[in-house]
A and B are shown apart, each in its own frame.
Chain A
């Protein structure tokens, strides 16, 4: 029983990590209808930049983080300038493909700038087992708890941002209705820069957490693939969906790995989440938090 709890808890924690990445997807999809495949690479790119600033320029942690945030905002601006504004009104699949192109570019640039070897990322996040639960006989990483806490803070921050600030409300308006938002004089270009910046910062947070856990390396960009089933489960446009979906996937995956994995030869975590999400969708096509869609003709 203790073992089961331990597995579930560790699944929940891993799920939070997925949620962090899924959150970045959701923000961009909600505001612009773009399925940003580069979200994972953005997390890698942010982590690489952070490590680079700390190692090569000897920045202190806080300055490196601010510097990385600045880089991510500049990147968002650049993406809007060079790519998005020329692709307005294109089919969703075209925009999707463009973000795959973007993923290639970011990957190459990140490697050239900071090198492609595995780097350690240590910004002082506590590591090791969390004492209190360890005393109860359950192993939980401090880092993962920290990540969960950060995710909670991030979600609260985002909620305030969307509810209380002018630009946040504008973002929601765009998400609800592009035309209407444009007609009341909200510039789509600004919106895009803001939303890509926000999701760049979310990517940085995700990059820090994953990087602290397993080093900054190319495989970090592949966590995007782990976040995708979260999206089909929670919905492309739902922030709570991303959070809850992430946890369901995290727990489901860990339990499957421990209890089913040995039977079928292991390494099932690559596809199990997808199957879980799919099975779920067959019974509830609108996802976790979606409304039942009434189709009209």
Chain B
């Protein structure tokens, strides 16, 4: 990993507070992500990890704080703003379009790259056809990259869990994001599938230079992959630093009941 270039800060969130009614989900969270790095967020269940990702791509609107992405500071994101500025994500409980094929799911991920209007689409000639073919090629490159050629035309609802996770990664990649948010990409996978997924994540980061922020429970994976790790517990920021620092942080060890994570 030594060849990778870690650049400037691409995403910075400052003093984020998020609550639902009386329930405080995120309490004064600040952290940043640098261009090209793999940044992990860990913490026990209910720590607010997914909520933090939801704030970053605009699904939840925090009561306090700011989000700075590529130099633009906002009080809150809107989902389409996040998407069109290059933030893509996958979801903890797979959120694929179940009635559609693998190919169509990935093509939907390229939605923002496509522009032709309804009229041309209805005729399916000229620009609409050219655009469709051009994006099909891009989608096929992702299909090759993820090695899912065989399930191209299969409805995703019927695919096994591990493959669905892979298709979901493909759909996020299709948008050619600058920042990729992965919410437990390896949850529920066997060790072989995990290895594959790790390799994909490293390759995406390496080959495309995509910045990655991921939530993961498997500490081995987190410590291996990450450049820096943010630890949350009950909506509060417990620690933030390189894996070794976090590993030896006393409050982190306490939060995890002192269980060693190797």
Contacts and interface: CB of A to CB of B under 8 A. Distances in A.
A297 B54 contact: yes
A297 B94 CA distance: 9
A297 B95 contact: yes
Interface string B88-121: 0001110100000000000000000000000000
Interface residues of A, number: 5
Say which size band chain B's interface belongs to: 10 to 19
A297 B50 contact: yes
Interface string A119-148: 000000000000000000000000000000
Interface string B15-28: 00000110000000
Contacts of A294: 20
B59 to A, nearest CB: 6
Contacts, number: 12
A296 B91 CA distance: 10
Interface string B66-104: 000000000000000000000000011101000000000
A292 B19 CA distance: 13
Main secondary structure of the interface of A (DSSP, over half): loop
Contacts of A295: 59
User: Which has the most chain B C-beta neighbours within 10 Å: A294, A295, A296?
Assistant: A296
Interface string A281-297: 00000000000101111
A295 to B, nearest CB: 8
B20 A297 contact: no
Contacts of B93: 297
Interface in A165-190: none
A89 to B, nearest CB: 14
Contacts of B54: 297
Nearest to A297: B91
Contacts of A296: 50
A91 to B, nearest CB: 11
Nearest to B59: A297
A296 B20 CA distance: 12
Nearest to A294: B20
A93 to B, nearest CB: 14
Contacts of B92: 297
A297 B50 CA distance: 8
Nearest to A296: B50
Nearest to A291: B21
B110 to A, nearest CB: 21
A297 B20 CA distance: 15
Contacts of A297: 50, 54, 59, 91-93, 95, 183
Contacts of B183: 297
Contacts of A292: 21
A296 B50 CA distance: 9
A297 B55 CA distance: 12
B218 to A, nearest CB: 21
Contacts of B50: 296-297
A254 B229 CA distance: 63
Nearest to B89: A297
B173 to A, nearest CB: 18
Nearest to B91: A297
A296 B21 CA distance: 15
A297 B92 CA distance: 7
B71 to A, nearest CB: 27
A297 B215 CA distance: 14
A294 to B, nearest CB: 5
Contacts of B59: 295, 297
A108 to B, nearest CB: 35
A51 B93 CA distance: 55
A284 to B, nearest CB: 16
A295 B93 CA distance: 13
A36 B50 CA distance: 37
Interface string B47-58: 000100010000
A285 to B, nearest CB: 16
A294 B59 CA distance: 11
Interface of A: 292, 294-297
12 contacts: A292-B21, A294-B20, A295-B59, A296-B50, A297-B50, A297-B54, A297-B59, A297-B91, A297-B92, A297-B93, A297-B95, A297-B183
Across the A-B interface, give the 9 residue pairs with the lowest CB-CB distance, nearest first.
A297-B91, A294-B20, A297-B95, A297-B59, A297-B54, A297-B50, A297-B92, A296-B50, A297-B93
Given A292-B21, A294-B20, A297-B92, 9 more contacts: A295-B59, A296-B50, A297-B50, A297-B54, A297-B59, A297-B91, A297-B93, A297-B95, A297-B183
